[in-house]
Amino acid sequence: MLLQEAMEAARRAPARGRVADYIPALAQADPTAFGMAIATVDGAVFGAGDWEHPFSIQSVSKLFTLALALALADGGDELWRGVGREPSGNPFNSLVQLESENGIPRNPFINAGALVVTDRLLKLTGDAVGAVRDFLRAESGNPAVAVDDSVASSEAQHGHRNAAMAHFMASYGNLRNPVDSVLAHYYAHCAIEASCRDLALAGLFLARHGTRADGSRLLSRSEAKRINAVLLTCGTYDAAGEFAYRVGLPGKSGVGGGVLAVLPGRGTVCVWGPGLDAAGNSVLGVAALDALTTATGWSVF
Ligand code: GLU
């Protein structure tokens, strides 16, 4: 009921945004698709609309790569030497800061930062995309979560900017693996297909202060707090201020139109609508989260 009302409120807004087409395979997404799921810390999940329809998670994957890299690293210090924790104020695929800041990206959620995190996860596991996919399968209980190879290869053929960033960072010694391997794993984890249901369940470890679905600990309480903090300040491109203002929750968006938001201690909400605003965030998704948190008061503030 609550979800349906939030979705109806979002549909009343005049704008719909544009489906991302800079990765040609993403341009085939249905611009009218719209789904929303809410999961609670005890593992219950509810949804409305296209909430069980898989979509390309794109940058939503970046929160999972970060969590897994931090979980497997011996403390986060090495990782945080290679990537910062400040909003960039620039588009997600911008190259401009990298040169003046010596190949250290501003944060783990812009593309350059996510490439560094993917590189570290690859070093730690030997299979970064497999680690993310298996984590999503385990937490969602859905063995069908998988990489869409056509999306990954479509991005590989058009990913000149990501390749440029990766080479640039390698020239500063900020990658531990060959550039081509890092890019392949990055494109593949971005090309994972999952639904709002799957992502809401998979994100619950952040609402549970670091604890996984099976009760084991992925992250310490403090690490989970830190990831939520970076999500709030950097998770929604250079519109993170607007997202915090409207929604009041940590969240991560992707150019496939998904947004995963965390209500610490309570649960998660995932929304999918492929039409994006100029910053790259789902127009319907942000509007629905805005309506939901405004109606319920569910926010970290
Ligand atoms: N794979 C996409 C890229 O690197 C992810 C972008 C996004 O969702 O923000 O451009």
What letter does residue 273 receive in the DSSP assignment?
-
Residue 301 in domain: no
Domain that holds residue 223: 2-296
Please tell me if the CB atom of residue 155 comes closer than 6 angstroms to any atom of ligand 1.
Answer: yes
What average pLDDT does the structure give for the chain?
96
Please tell me if the CB atom of residue 186 comes closer than 6 angstroms to any atom of ligand 1.
Answer: no
3 state SS for 135-197: HHHHHHCCCCCEECHHHHHHHHHHCHHHHHHHHHHHHCCCCCCCHHHHHHHHHHHHCEEECHH
Q: Which two tokens stand for residue 216?
A: 């084991």
Using the predicted structure, report yes or no on whether residue 92 has a pLDDT greater than 80: no
Strand runs (DSSP E) across the chain, as ranges?
A: 18-19, 35-40, 45-49, 55-56, 146-147, 192-194, 251-253, 258-263, 267-272, 275-276
Task: Tell which residue, 20, 94, 118, 92, has the closest CA to residue 240.
Answer: 92
pTM greater than 0.75 = yes
Longest Cα–Cα distance of the chain, Å, equals 53
Residue 46 in domain: yes
Using the predicted structure, report yes or no on whether residue 97 has a pLDDT greater than 90: no
Q: Which two tokens stand for residue 19?
A: 């489906």
Please tell me if the CB atom of residue 190 comes closer than 6 angstroms to any atom of ligand 1.
Answer: yes
Question: How close is the Cα of 107 to the center of ligand 1, in Å?
Answer: 14
What is the band of 96 on the pLDDT scale with cuts at 50, 70, 90?
confident
Q: What is the CATH number of the domain that holds 7?
A: 3.40.710.10
Residue 74 in domain: yes
Q: How far is residue 201's CA from residue 219's CA, in Å, rounded to a whole number?
A: 16
Using the predicted structure, report yes or no on whether residue 91 has a pLDDT greater than 80: no
pLDDT in tens, 143-193: 999 999 999 999 999 999 999 999 999 999 999 999 999 999 999 999 999
Question: How close is the Cα of 19 to the center of ligand 1, in Å?
Answer: 13
Task: Taking residues 74-84, report their average pLDDT.
Answer: 91
- Nearest-atom number in ligand 1 for the CA of 187 is 1
Provide the number of structural domains found in the chain: 1
Q: Look at ligand 1, atom 3, and give the residue with the nearest C-alpha.
A: 111
Please tell me if the CB atom of residue 112 comes closer than 6 angstroms to any atom of ligand 1.
Answer: no
Question: Are residues 56 and 256 in contact, defined by beta-carbon separation less than 8 angstroms?
Answer: yes
Cα angle at 204 between 247 and 187, to 5 degrees? 85
Residue 279 in domain: yes
Residue 245 in domain: yes
Residue 59 in domain: yes
pLDDT in tens, 211-250: 999 999 999 999 999 999 999 999 999 899 999 999 999 9
Cα dihedral sign, 81-208-71-213: negative
Cα dihedral sign, 137-72-69-266: positive
b/e map 248-277, b = 16+ CB within 10 Å: bbbbbbbbbbbbbbbbbeebbbbbbbbbbb
Q: How far is residue 228's CA from residue 246's CA, in Å, rounded to a whole number?
A: 17
- Nearest-atom number in ligand 1 for the CA of 191 is 1
Q: How far is residue 113's CA from residue 92's CA, in Å, rounded to a whole number?
A: 10
What is the band of 13 on the pLDDT scale with cuts at 50, 70, 90?
confident
What is the structure's pLDDT at 202? 98
What is the structure's pLDDT at 37? 98
Q: How far is residue 41's CA from residue 44's CA, in Å, rounded to a whole number?
A: 7
Residue 162 in domain: yes
What is the structure's pLDDT at 11? 95
pLDDT in tens, 42-76: 999 999 999 999 999 999 999 999 999 999 998 78
Please tell me if the CB atom of residue 93 comes closer than 6 angstroms to any atom of ligand 1.
Answer: yes
224: enclosing H helix or E strand: helix 221-234
